[in-house]
Structure 1
Amino acid sequence: MATRSGSPIHFLGLNAAGQKFWLGGETASYCPENIVKNCPPGNQTVLAPGGSALVSPVPQVIHSFPFPLFLPLYFPCKKNLTIYQDTSVPGGQRVYVDPNGALSFTQAHSASIPEGSSLGPFEYNAAEPWSHYSFNGWGSSGFMACPADGGRWQVFAALGNATVPQGNVDDCLGFSAIALPYSGETPAWQYI
């Protein structure tokens, strides 16, 4: 969830779609029903710091508002994380920042990322009442949301030289990425 008081992005959920991340819009996911029985709903974007849900006991949801109530769990500050999306697909899906500065995720079944991309450092900082994710690579100060088509805002590393949808970084808004603990089942087979 994004927080930036008095702005159009305040309390918008972070959603994975089109191998990018967006504020507003819907999560896009896929499940091969002919292979997988009981597909997960695929309507939430959940990040698992340090690896996929299979190795990380504390995946985080950045969920649309109003959000479900979860027990408040707090964790120490973790720097230089590798972040994956919480999925069932073999190999998981890794989160990275592409060469244009866009927060992105890998295709299912592939660890391939574009040359010149950054795998971090991502940071997870525990705090009350909410914890935060940030990206501090390339001199970034966190994340920014840039207006895009369809009323959505595309998420980028907060960089003055990012290549943004409407061409003007000055139209982008810096925000805090709030992380809420998630203890449910794996939320998606894969994000698309």
Structure 2
Amino acid sequence: MKAATVLAALPAVMASSFTGLSVRSGSPIQYGSINANGGAFYIGKPTQSYCPESVGDACPDGTYTVFSGGDDTLSMDVEVPGGQQVYIAPSGALTFTAPHSASMPEGSISNGFTLSEGTSFGYLSWTNGFVACPSANGSAPYQVFGAIPSLNTSSCLGFDFLASNATGVGAWEYE
């Protein structure tokens, strides 16, 4: 068997950095970007990031939310010293730590994240799955939650979290 034939049969290898897309056919969140904003993740809100003036032109773009990991734990792909870890808050909200801090509320869950490879995209999963819940007006933006047993998901939409390879760090830090 030729080497080219073997290589062509291998699945696409996921990079260590990736962006997220929601997949829920026939819904308002279909192919929505999963963005960090206000310490949580949303579909239908732009990415919110920060870079100190002292970093200047070396600052990453910051307009896309980029994740790293997916081998039990998940982080934001950032430059800020100490990084930012992703976790499920006691409310069920998919959340991330503040810059320069590993502090999480008691009862938070920081493991159970798995990145798997697909033919065109990867898939990020969490132990109980992900749901997107509409804002108070019943529509966008949708906040992303881990489907914990105590979460009322009656108005929420379960979805698949597609992972698309990203190149480079996403931001200095996410807010």
Q: Residues of 2 paired with 1:30 and 1:129: CA distance?
A: 31
**Equivalent pair of 1:160/1:169 in contact (CA under 8 Å):** no
Aligned to 2:7: none
**Equivalent pair of 2:23/2:161 in contact (CA under 8 Å):** yes
Aligned to 2:160: 176
Q: Residues of 1 paired with 2:149 and 2:158: CA distance?
A: 11
- The answer to whether 1:144 aligns with 2:135 is no
- The answer to whether 1:43 aligns with 2:63 is yes
SS of 1:36's partner is: helix
- The answer to whether 1:19 aligns with 2:73 is no
Structure 1: gaps (5+ residues): 51-77, 163-167
Alignment of 1:155-170 (within 5 A): 155-162=144-151, 168-170=152-154
Q: What is the CA deviation profile of residues 61-109 of structure 1, one whole-angstrom value per residue up to 9, with x for unaligned ones?
A: xxxxxxxxxxxxxxxxx5xx22110111000000000001110000000
SS of 2:87's partner is: strand
Instruction: Give the letter for the 1:19 counterpart.
Output: G
Instruction: Give the letter for the 1:189 counterpart.
Output: W
Alignment size in residue pairs: 152
SS of 2:160's partner is: strand
Match of 2:142 among 140, 147, 153: 153
**Equivalent pair of 1:161/1:169 in contact (CA under 8 Å):** no
**Equivalent pair of 2:22/2:159 in contact (CA under 8 Å):** yes
Question: Percent same amino acid at aligned positions?
Answer: 44
Q: Residues of 1 paired with 2:169 and 2:110: CA distance?
A: 23
- The answer to whether 1:191 aligns with 2:154 is no
Q: Residues of 1 paired with 2:67 and 2:89: CA distance?
A: 17
SS of 1:171's partner is: coil
Query: How far apart are residue 118 of structure 1 and its match?
Result: 0.3
Runs of 4+ in 1 over 4 A off after TM superposition: none
Q: Residues of 1 paired with 2:147 and 2:73: CA distance?
A: 19
Query: How far apart are residue 182 of structure 1 and its match?
Result: 1.0
**Equivalent pair of 2:43/2:140 in contact (CA under 8 Å):** no
- Superposition CA RMSD, Å: 1.4
What TM-score, normalized to structure 1? 0.76
SS of 2:32's partner is: coil
Q: What is the CA deviation profile of residues 133-169 of structure 1, one whole-angstrom value per residue up to 9, with x for unaligned ones?
A: 0110xxx1x100000158200000123422xxxxx52
Instruction: Give the letter for the 2:112 counterpart.
Output: P
Aligned to 2:77: 86
Q: Residues of 2 paired with 1:99 and 1:181: CA distance?
A: 29
**Bigger-Rg structure (1/2):** 2
Q: Residues of 1 paired with 2:133 and 2:32: CA distance?
A: 13
More strand by share: 2
Q: Residues of 2 paired with 1:45 and 1:125: CA distance?
A: 19
**Equivalent pair of 2:81/2:100 in contact (CA under 8 Å):** yes
Instruction: Give the letter for the 1:158 counterpart.
Output: A
What TM-score, normalized to structure 2? 0.83
Instruction: Give the letter for the 1:135 counterpart.
Output: W
